[in-house]
C-alpha cells in the first residue's frame, strides 16, 4: 500500500531545506566579504615613501644608504598584504629607516613606465635593493614574509 505525502509534510521539508541554503549563502557572503576586506586592507605605516628615483638616489648618496624600490599597484593583493604584515611592523620600519631610502613605484603610473622597463618588472610586488648609482644589489619577486624581508634588508 502506497502512502501519499501530505502537502504540509512536503512544504515543511522544503522549509528546512530552504533554511539550510539561506544560512549557507549568508555565511558564504560574510566570509567572502571578510576575506576581500582582509586582502585589500593595508594599515597606514610611518615609512617615508619617495616616488622619484633620482631624488631617492641623491638622498641615498648623501646618507650613505642604498635604495629599496618597491614596485606595486592599486589592484595587487599581495602588495597590500606586505604593507600590512611587513611594512607596518615597527621593527621593519626601524631597520628600513637605518639602512635604506624607501621608494614606492606604482606600475600603473605612466610616469614610471621607463623605470618598469629599466628593471624589467613583470609582476607585483617586486622589491629591488639598489645602490645610489642604480646597480641592483638584491631583489625578490612576489610577497616576502617579515623575517625574510628583514634578513634581505640587513644583508645588503
| 60-93 pLDDT per residue, tens | 999 999 999 999 998 998 998 899 899 999 999 9
**Band of residue 4 on the pLDDT scale cut at 50, 70, 90:** low
* Contact criterion met (CB below 8 Å) for 130 and 136: yes
Q: Tally Cβ neighbours within 10 Å of residue 128.
A: 20
* Helices assigned H by DSSP within 41-119: 53-63, 77-82, 90-99, 113-118
Cα separation of 14 and 42, whole Å?
44
Kindly state the percentage of the chain with pLDDT values over 90.
Answer: 62
Q: Scanning the structure block, which residue is given the C-alpha cell 586582502?
A: 39
DSSP result, 120-155: T--SSSEEEEE-TT--EEEEEES---HHHHHHHHHH
6 φ/ψ angles, rounded to the nearest 5 degrees: -80, 150
Amino acid at each position: 500500500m502506497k502512502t501519499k505525502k501530505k502537502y504540509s509534510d512536503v512544504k515543511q521539508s522544503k522549509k528546512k531545506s530552504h533554511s539550510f541554503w539561506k544560512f549557507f549563502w549568508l555565511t558564504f557572503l560574510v566570509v567572502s566579504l571578510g576575506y576581500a576586506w582582509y586582502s585589500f586592507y593595508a594599515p597606514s605605516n610611518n615609512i617615508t615613501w619617495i616616488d622619484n628615483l633620482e631624488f631617492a638616489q641623491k638622498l641615498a648618496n648623501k646618507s650613505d644608504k642604498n635604495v629599496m624600490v618597491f614596485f606595486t599597484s592599486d589592484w595587487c593583493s599581495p602588495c597590500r598584504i606586505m604593507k600590512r604584515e611587513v611594512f607596518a611592523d615597527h621593527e621593519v620600519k626601524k631597520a628600513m629607516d637605518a639602512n635604506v631610502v624607501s621608494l614606492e613605484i606604482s606600475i600603473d603610473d605612466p610616469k614610471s613606465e621607463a623605470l618598469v622597463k629599466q628593471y624589467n618588472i613583470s609582476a607585483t610586488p617586486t622589491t629591488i635593493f639598489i645602490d645610489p648609482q642604480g646597480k641592483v644589489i638584491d631583489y625578490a619577486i612576489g610577497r616576502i614574509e617579515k623575517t625574510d624581508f628583514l634578513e634581505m634588508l640587513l644583508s645588503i
